[in-house]
A and B are shown apart, each in its own frame.
Chain A
Amino acid sequence: MRPLSRRLFLKGMAAAGGLAAIRSGFLPQAHGVETGGYKALIGIFLKGGLDYGDVVLPLDQPLYTALTELRGDLFSAYGSANTPSRALDALLPLNIGNPSPLGGRRMGLIPEMNGLQGLFNAGEAAIVGSVGPLIEPTTRQQYDDRSVPLPKKLFSHNDQQSTWMALDTEGERTGWGGKFADLIAAASPGTPGIYQNITVGSADVFLSGETSRPFSVPSGDIPTLRIESQRSLLGGGQGDEARARLREALLRRDFGADSILERDASAISARGIEDNENFAEIRNNAVTGLTTTFPDTSLGRQLRSVAETIAVREALLVNRQIFYATRGGFDTHRNQANTLPGLAREISDAFAAFRNAMVELGQWGNVTVFTFSDFGRTLNGNDNGTDHGWAGHHFVAGGAVRGGRVFGAMPEPNIESAFYTPSRGRLIPQVSVEQFGATLGSWFGLNSQELGGVFPNLANFDTANLGFLEGPVG
């Protein structure tokens, strides 16, 4: 391990108080957030709208048949060559430890999701059913009558992505992940906090707080300035003075510009270079010894980056982290039978590999991984695809998850029932995004007052905690 650079050493000194506190397990708790030990939340956003109905299927014959009748062409497509089977006997049974919410109905995962099936049946993963944006509890009648306030711009991708991440439509500037980070940072004075919320996927609103902002970790090498690493560009040793002066120029924040955009542009650029260099130095110096193999897929690479970052958490001077990964391709209006199975396998395999890496690091009990997405999709098909819906089912996994159970609701596939909007069978949420987020936040260490501040409509629901994580349920 080479010695830390002067730059990093100075940063470390500034934060030494924080570091010592982290190592000894204590932190000042200015705002009441519980910040002892290490905990991480990892959100995987499935862009485009996951078709929950083609991931978790009923195993009881009449209900399975009802589903195939709603989506005849889709099931036909699965039956043809080159597509995986969706035959009833090919589905992977879930051993549901709390059968009563389903009235004893049985559910199974599609064959591509054997990794998640394993986690579920081992009690390390759960499913939260019928979760979606709501202002207050909403019945079909109330939806039809518009007699309760509804989330704005339902069924629109960008707006529902923003609503899931930031509780309002596009243009909202702070996400609940970022607000969690704000509260953690406020309760942890003296820690740098730069590497507290980290995106390994796209740069979306979820991790932006009032004060905290996401740091972006790429899946491969951490990029640093080529003009420095490729010394020949400025003539090797002859170029040392110029290299130093050039570096100063590229890192300049204050140009004396009388333009807001220009000031922002230089700050963004300089901050990006500095944060990358520091992060690269920490990650390259630390010996992680991580041996778990991750699948060479987009989510596999992203979650490997998360695991490698968690492995160096102490050097990053953080003991609460929120990660954000993204995968596109879920807007399956067409050819769903050819695209969704591969994506589902990618999700499932990435969960399984990440679990193994966390077990290897001794951190599985301290991390919670969850999926979220624009919306669910219509229960009846449009030929060989599905259209935009509302609520969906999502996975949570981790050592602290009350696994092997289903939370929320999983209604029967009957679009005439009170669980769906008319005509296309768009599932009406039975639990809200805010309850889902608050349950994660409660486990993460936020108290009820803080959760109420992050989730403004939480008080409209009968419980703030859906109970899928260990800890007090209130």
Chain B
Amino acid sequence: MQLTVKTGLLALLWASAATLAGCSGGGGGSSDGGSAPPPVASPPPPPPAPPITEIDDRAEAVRFLNFATFGADETLINQLTASGSASDWVAGELAKPVTLYLPRVAALTPADDRGNENIFDDVVWQAMIGNDDQLRTRVTFALSQILVANTRQSGGVRPRRAAFYADALARNAFGNFRDLIDDVTYTPLMAEFLTYMRNRKGDERRGRMPDENYAREIMQLFTIGLVELNMDGTPRLDAQGQQIETYTNDDVVGLARVFTGLSERGGTFFNGHDIDSEYTPLIMYDDQHSELEKSFLGTTISAGTPGDESIDLALDALFAHPNVAPFISRQLIQRLTSSNPPPAYVERVATAFEQGRFTAADGRDFGTGARGDLAATVAAILLDAYVLEGPGTDQQAGKAREPVISFVHWARAFDVTGIDPDNEFWLNDTRSPTDRLGQQAFRPPSVFNFYRPGYIPPGSEAGARGMTVPEFQIVNSGASVGYLNFMTRFIFDDSPSRERNTSFTPDYRDERALADQPSALADHLNMLLTGGRMTQAALTDIAETVQAIPIDDNDPEEDLDRRVSAAVLIAINSPAFRIQR
């Protein structure tokens, strides 16, 4: 089985290398070569297609940036259009230094205090809207939905503890997956969230067994998943056509012994920890770590192995599992570019994860060559034909946008001034589906995130075709008015705030200039927000609504604003905005 897959992959790579060679040959070569001339003039050979990584115009730039960032803005659109290369852009983003969360959170938090509950969330909004390293920030958000911890659900409000977890994701976003799961395992936030903080070895006398929570979820959700997978992310089937479960309950019981003995540094295992300990890695208290043999997934860690070494061996074993590449790759694709990725796309990305290397269509190499390289994986996701060639006639292609990203995109596209989330009452908590966004970054309802990667929406065309659309678990009918009303508040600069009209003020100058040309305004928004993907129906809706708003010649300012705001509201509700293709 394994051999077949590898052979297939080699063939695939060979084929794409051949294609590349053909492309880079350029148009200069004469093809006569002395052989018999054709009797009739054949049409001239088509000019060689440029590599798909080439960005030809603003429309392509916007489409690409909407996948790779929290939404295209004028600056990025101009930069990418000028450079003309998606591959260069990705390489540039990979090279940027990480913008860490902790220093920003710490700057807002008194040294001797655990801090205000909203501080971390405020910094997250600022990062998504304003960070220069947009790709890393976007991937960090994606990882926060795979290695999930809710930053507020875990024993008190600790903004620095949350930031330390976010930094573990951000620092490793372009690093190696093995380091990522190591760092996350040792974050105090994850340990509180999945209850292995101060998890004690078993004690039969007290009827006590180690807490199984992390052992189960790190396998099910963070590394290998429940069933064996092919490289293309589809389940492997046994001779009876049944899926093959990756682990049994005995594996959970065995692995649970590994995650015992961890607690915060300073003080003792049980208490006495200072504030600093919440944003430094956990340490092992070996006297609380299980001395028993730990047996799981065919790996046995012998009795008496110390705690840190046990964790190292266990994470090695999980990382070595062949499921990791397709399991993680498919979910990363879903967070960035496709709600229902075709298996061949998953396989291409999983191959980059497995080989630690990705070669783009223009010949640029990404990655270190080490298995689990996330830079190679991310490059493979974004520089794939699925993204760069567009959907063509594939009606299934596309990604439903997450409400948080839709809002942040609005803020970026209209370059809001005063990115001061603390002033905005509603940004403290955007989770309600009935009057907010139904989602808030880093605050999913459980370790199962806001939605499930395998969610197939009932009562929909996508569902009837068996397509997964995780985002439709929260972008549903019960949330549609909430989304529109939330966006209405911000679009009309009418959001409830501590000091009115001092934050999140959109800059509509470009749009105001077009407010008396309804069709031009519609076209402008179409390009800015969707890369020209709106249908004529949506453009007509915008133009006719704008036209219907009268302009008082004596006092046109307010009416011009109304025209722009109404147009933007229709645009952000249009299917071309809510779905990316």
Residues of A within 8 A of B (CB): 47-48, 69-73, 152-159, 170-171, 173-174, 178, 199, 202-203, 205, 208-209, 213, 215-216, 218, 220, 223-227, 230, 233-235, 238-239, 241-242, 244-246, 248-250, 252, 254-273, 275-276, 328, 331, 333-335, 378, 380-383, 385, 387-388, 421, 423-424, 426
Contacts and interface: CB of A to CB of B under 8 A. Distances in A.
Contacts of B558: 235
10 contacts: A215-B477, A216-B479, A227-B488, A246-B545, A250-B484, A261-B400, A261-B581, A271-B480, A275-B477, A388-B212
B478 A203 contact: yes
Size class of the contact patch on chain B: 35 or more
A381 to B, nearest CB: 6
A63 to B, nearest CB: 15
A174 B464 CA distance: 12
B545 A233 contact: no
Given A215-B477, A245-B544, A249-B570, A387 B485 contact: no
A270 B480 CA distance: 8
A261 B548 contact: no
Nearest to A264: B460
Given A159-B226, A205-B458, A382-B208, A256 B537 contact: yes
Nearest to B393: A258
Contacts of A335: 155
Interface string B457-474: 111111101010100111
Given A203-B478, A380-B207, A171 B562 contact: no
B416 interface: no
Given A156-B220, A255-B538, A234 B459 contact: no
A263 B461 contact: yes
A208 B542 contact: no
Q: Which 6 A-B pairs have the closest CB atoms?
A: A216-B478, A272-B480, A272-B477, A262-B575, A208-B458, A249-B541
Contact of A272 (B209, B249, B481): B481
Interface in B7-47: none
Contacts of A262: 398, 575-576, 578-579, 581
Given A250-B484, A261-B469, A155 B478 contact: no
B75 interface: no
A227 B575 contact: no
B395 A258 contact: yes
B357 interface: no
Contact of B475 (A255, A265, A388, A424): A265
B484 to A, nearest CB: 6
A173 B456 contact: yes
A380 B210 CA distance: 10
Contacts of B127: none
Nearest to A250: B573
B569 interface: yes
Contact of A69 (B207, B210, B579): B207
Interface stretch (B113-121, B139-147, B171-179, B444-452): B444-452
B575 A263 contact: yes
B579 A328 contact: no
Contacts of B300: none
B485 A152 contact: no
A111 B12 CA distance: 66
B216 A208 contact: no
A388 B216 contact: yes
A275 B339 CA distance: 26
B461 A264 contact: yes
Given A170-B452, A255-B575, A272-B481, A387 B209 contact: yes
A252 B467 CA distance: 23
Nearest to B215: A387
A255 B212 contact: no
Contacts of A270: 480
A209 B463 CA distance: 12
Interface string B202-241: 0001111111110010001000001000000000000000
A143 B580 CA distance: 47
Contacts of B462: 260-261, 264
Nearest to B479: A272
Given A242-B566, A252-B537, A378-B209, A157 B397 contact: no
B195 interface: yes
B537 A254 contact: yes
B213 A246 contact: no
Nearest to B449: A158
B545 to A, nearest CB: 5
Interface of B: 155, 194-195, 199-200, 205-213, 216, 220, 226, 243, 245, 249, 252-253, 339, 391, 393, 395-400, 433-435, 445-448, 452, 454-463, 465, 467, 469, 472-485, 488-489, 492, 494, 535-538, 541-542, 544-545, 548-550, 558-559, 562, 565-566, 569-570, 573-576, 578-579, 581
A155 B570 CA distance: 45
A220 B434 contact: yes
A387 B259 CA distance: 14
B460 A171 contact: no
B446 A72 contact: no
Contacts of A220: 434
B212 A387 contact: yes
A259 B397 CA distance: 7
A239 B488 contact: no
Given A272-B478, A333-B213, A155 B252 contact: yes
Given A259-B395, A261-B575, A262-B578, 5 more contacts: A209-B458, A218-B478, A245-B544, A378-B209, A380-B209
Contacts of B542: 249
Task: Determine which residue in A235, A249, A423 has the highest number of CB atoms from chain B within 10 A of its CB, and name it.
Answer: A249
A153 B452 CA distance: 16
B268 to A, nearest CB: 16
Contact of B549 (A69, A235, A266, A267): A235
Nearest to B576: A262
A225 B481 contact: yes
A254 to B, nearest CB: 7
A335 B538 CA distance: 53
A260 B249 contact: no
Contacts of A171: 454-456
A216 B562 contact: no
Given A249-B545, A255-B535, A261-B469, A234 B578 contact: no
A268 B480 contact: yes
Nearest to A275: B477
A205 B398 CA distance: 23
A447 B292 CA distance: 55
B366 to A, nearest CB: 29
A258 B249 CA distance: 46
Contacts of B579: 259, 261-262, 265
A382 B259 CA distance: 13
Contacts of B452: 158, 170
Contacts of A381: 207-209
Contacts of B481: 223-225, 272-273, 276
B461 A255 contact: no
Nearest to B253: A423
Contacts of A388: 212, 216
Contacts of B566: 227, 234, 242, 246
A397 to B, nearest CB: 27
Nearest to B395: A260
Nearest to A157: B448
A225 B458 contact: no
Contacts of A264: 457, 460-462, 469, 472
A388 B213 CA distance: 8
A434 to B, nearest CB: 20
Given A173-B456, A223-B435, A260-B462, A216 B488 contact: no
A227 B482 CA distance: 12
Given A205-B458, A259-B395, A388-B212, A328 B446 contact: yes
A383 B456 CA distance: 38
B559 A235 contact: yes
Nearest to A227: B488
